[in-house]
């Protein structure tokens, strides 16, 4: 799903750029490769509360509100802070105003968070980071704890296998619903492992979360190497 938020009046942004140094913001969902507008039915649908695409009464947050909240979050964060974070991720100084575009990819719906992969367009380079959005009460309670735990661990252990985290704060949507957002480092080519029932059977197997290969299960030998 792609929406140019710099000129989108239907979403309540008005015909103005959200951030002077980011003239274009695009929004995607993982299973919609083709660009769509806010007229797409999904835009007004309630955000699922888990990976089974179930919705509960605890939230009425829509896909559109989700993308609007992240866009407003970056407007609040400001170009200078975003440029500083991009410089840390790239391990190279980035000039102010060098970020020309921000792509927001809603990746999945987890039990605690709705993670979005952020792609920052910096000249010919692409820099990735992540925003975890906690909507549920349990998710909001957990995300602040994880932020402080990761901060403490990355200070204590200078290893590249721990993701850096840069910001965590509550955020109001349209002055009503509150979510919590955590901005951190996106690990490219890293995958989650889930204990799942293989191929709709009762047999349990370890499934690799991979959007490009949703039925990827580990063999017994691979499983032993992981754990």
Same domain, 218 and 110: no
How do beta strands 114-122 and 99-106 pair?
A: antiparallel
Same domain, 28 and 51: yes
Please give the average per-residue pLDDT across 134-141, as a whole number. 90
**Quick check: is 16 in a domain?**
no
Same domain, 127 and 198: no
**Quick check: is 18 in a domain?**
no
> Looking at per-residue confidence, does 203 or 120 come out higher?
120
**Quick check: is 219 in a domain?**
yes
Measured at the alpha carbon of residue 103, what is the angle toward residues 76 and 19, in degrees to the nearest 5? 35
Same domain, 158 and 205: no
Same domain, 134 and 32: yes
Same domain, 180 and 155: yes
**Quick check: is 4 in a domain?**
no
Same domain, 45 and 82: yes
The pLDDT confidence band at residue 88, using thresholds 50, 70 and 90, is very high
What's the whole-model pTM score?
Answer: 0.78
Residue 16 has pLDDT above 90, yes or no: no
**Quick check: is 57 in a domain?**
yes
Distance between the two ends of the chain, CA-based, in angstroms?
Answer: 37
Q: How far is CA 195 from CA 51, 90, 198, 208, 217, in A?
A: 14, 34, 9, 9, 10
Same domain, 37 and 140: yes
Residue 20 has pLDDT above 60, yes or no: no
What digits encode the pLDDT tens for the residues 30-79? 766 755 567 778 888 888 875 554 555 455 688 888 988 998 899 888 88
- What range does the domain containing 210 cover? 193-226
Number of domains in the chain: 2
Same domain, 84 and 167: yes
Same domain, 212 and 154: no
Same domain, 156 and 204: no
Cβ neighbors of 225 (< 8 A, separation 6 or more) are none
- Domain holding 73: CATH number? 3.30.200.20
Same domain, 101 and 139: yes
């Amino acid at each position: 799903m792609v929406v140019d938020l710099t000129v989108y009046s239907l979403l309540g942004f008005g015909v103005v750029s959200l951030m002077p140094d980011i003239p274009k913001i695009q929004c995607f969902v993982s299973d919609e490769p083709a660009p769509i507008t806010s007229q797409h039915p999904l835009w007004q649908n309630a955000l699922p509360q888990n990976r089974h695409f179930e919705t509960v009464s605890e939230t009425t947050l829509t896909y559109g509100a989700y993308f609007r909240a992240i866009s407003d979050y970056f407007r609040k964060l400001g170009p200078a802070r975003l440029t500083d974070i991009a410089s840390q991720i790239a391990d190279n100084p980035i000039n102010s105003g060098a970020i020309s575009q921000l792509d927001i990819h809603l990746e999945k719906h987890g039990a605690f968070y709705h993670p979005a992969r952020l792609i920052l367009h910096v000249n010919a380079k692409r820099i990735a980071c992540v925003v975890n959005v906690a909507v549920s009460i349990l998710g909001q309670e957990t995300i602040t704890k994880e932020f402080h735990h990761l901060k403490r661990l990355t200070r204590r252990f200078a290893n590249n296998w721990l993701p850096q985290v840069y910001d965590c704060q509550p955020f109001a949507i349209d002055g009503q619903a509150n979510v919590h957002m955590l901005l951190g480092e996106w690990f490219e080519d890293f995958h989650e492992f889930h204990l799942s029932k293989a191929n709709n059977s009762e047999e349990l197997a370890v499934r690799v979360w991979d959007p490009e290969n949703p039925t990827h299960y580990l063999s017994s030998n691979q499983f032993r190497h992981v754990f």
